[in-house]
Structure 1
């Protein structure tokens, strides 16, 4: 097997390097049964960022991406246990750092522990059938629901998103560039981006849905992509009503399964989703080094 070469750092990837990273991720997904990169990491492949690439000869053997002290790392199944993961961690530098592992894999846990990382955060993917009946949950008085209007609603949505996720390490820090990047994605559908509007015209909450094409063995999935309620609104039941409204939209579009991501520690959200019939399907782990 080819020797591990020095890790190459890049601020931007070439088109061929992006293809190589996606091919590596696909190989890891086929071997592990879970895709190794988040949506945000895939979006970063096409822009400026902190990219680390580890090679075995002329083959891309490992890849890591870093942003704001957190990252994701994947090694090609063919080149595991050959030093590429360790080399990528070394290239990422010393000090506080967090890496996501998609899927609660014992191998990832052992690798993290061996390199001084501890299990610090648990993210659940939950699913429910959309063929099962949904409860009837009315909206609070004074609330109307309409679709997001691109080119008009961005700043109002960013403001309520920041308030709703003030303590969330990723979601609460979204910028206009983050939002517009997703508006430019092929999956974006304003009709499935529901806004709850108060009688004074302000936003009280939102439910942004997303449709994932079928990817065997998974069917097409209708995701509760982001759900938020203004914490200053004091409108009891709005989150549940928005959840059901979005799920009905997905069911009407022909989707049969819905999914979502939620922190295990978010007791209120977990209780809401369990009450709506969602069950844990998959677990992602954030490993952190102090």
Structure 2
């Protein structure tokens, strides 16, 4: 195997990107996603890129002519948990040392532990992680299923009804339910009102596809299935089981399966989609088993590496 070519790219640090720089980063991410089959930056990073109030450290690698060749995003908002890192190198600039130069910049800029995502479990990311003494700490699977295959009939427990989310009215109750349902989840369970609002303001948000399970007698929220539709020019749209949660007190009654089936039916019948995806932690064996029984199969893996 040949050794990587030395890079002449320079790495720059800034706490704020201007609109042109943001557009360049998004174009770079699209190029890498098209080449690798998995987007290199997750939704959290993409939302923060577009939010001028979001605090972050940005590292950009540039060729001699100023062309953006690589990018690293450092999320420093939770010092106790450490710095979250996502990094991407343009496919045409790989094996030239650009990724390693960015990684050195990350190590110099970060304080405390590091948590770095490798979307798609790319071999180059795994090799770099080994070289830098990162440990493989968590695996997130993307599962997919066709919606052309039969979808089970939603069978809600007695006394439970479904309705659509009401933005502004259901926000506080949903945030409380989300925190209970994901009390042990490292990201989802810590959502704030600002985290919710930025997503409710996204162009893709569809309140009719945000299904709430409520107790008919009291109106209490018992569970939810928030669906999402990904639309991109040149590609067929795909639905997503964006977030699915059930109150711990309502476990064991089949509500999770019913909510999943109701959301799949919505994506198929109301949105006209023929495929759907979701993300689930490899370690969440109960959820993985549920989704596999509902016809989902593994599509790709996303790996979280830790250092420190």
Same fold flag (TM > 0.5): yes
CA distance in 1, matches of 2:223, 2:35: 40
Q: Which runs of 5+ in 2 are unaligned?
A: 1-5
| 8 Å CA contact retained: 2:7, 2:98 | no
CA distance in 1, matches of 2:20, 2:233: 24
CA distance in 1, matches of 2:91, 2:224: 40
Counterpart in 1 of 2:30? Answer: 26
TM-score when scaled to structure 2? 0.89
| 8 Å CA contact retained: 2:40, 2:88 | yes
Per-residue CA deviation, residues 98-152 of structure 1 (Å, 9 max, x unaligned), is: 1111112222111111111121111111111111111224111111110000111
CA distance in 2, matches of 1:212, 1:158: 24
Quote how far apart the aligned CAs of 1:160 are.
Answer: 0.6
| 8 Å CA contact retained: 1:139, 1:241 | yes
CA distance in 2, matches of 1:2, 1:286: 26
Quote how far apart the aligned CAs of 1:76 are.
Answer: 1.3
Counterpart in 2 of 1:73? Answer: 87
Equivalent position to 1:228, from 233, 239, 245: 245
Counterpart in 2 of 1:212? Answer: 230
Q: Does 1:145 align with 2:162?
A: yes
| 8 Å CA contact retained: 1:240, 1:272 | yes
CA distance in 2, matches of 1:201, 1:287: 42
Range moving further from structure 2, 98-107 or 254-263: 98-107
1:219 aligned counterpart, secondary structure: strand
CA distance in 2, matches of 1:8, 1:154: 39
| 8 Å CA contact retained: 1:12, 1:46 | no
Counterpart in 1 of 2:260? Answer: 243
Equivalent position to 1:111, from 114, 122, 128: 128
Runs (4 or more) in structure 1 with deviation over 4 Å come to: none
Per-residue CA deviation, residues 220-266 of structure 1 (Å, 9 max, x unaligned), is: 11110000001123451000000001111111121110110001110
Equivalent position to 1:194, from 206, 211, 217: 211
Q: Size of the alignment, in residue pairs?
A: 288
CA distance in 1, matches of 2:251, 2:288: 19
Q: Does 1:164 align with 2:181?
A: yes
Equivalent position to 1:12, from 9, 16, 23: 16
Counterpart in 2 of 1:82? Answer: 96
Quote how far apart the aligned CAs of 1:156 are.
Answer: 0.7
CA distance in 2, matches of 1:92, 1:254: 43
Q: Which runs of 5+ in 1 are unaligned?
A: none
Structure 1 vs Structure 2 CA RMSD: 1.7
Counterpart in 2 of 1:277? Answer: 295
CA distance in 1, matches of 2:183, 2:85: 21
Per-residue CA deviation, residues 76-103 of structure 1 (Å, 9 max, x unaligned), is: 1222233332232222236421111111
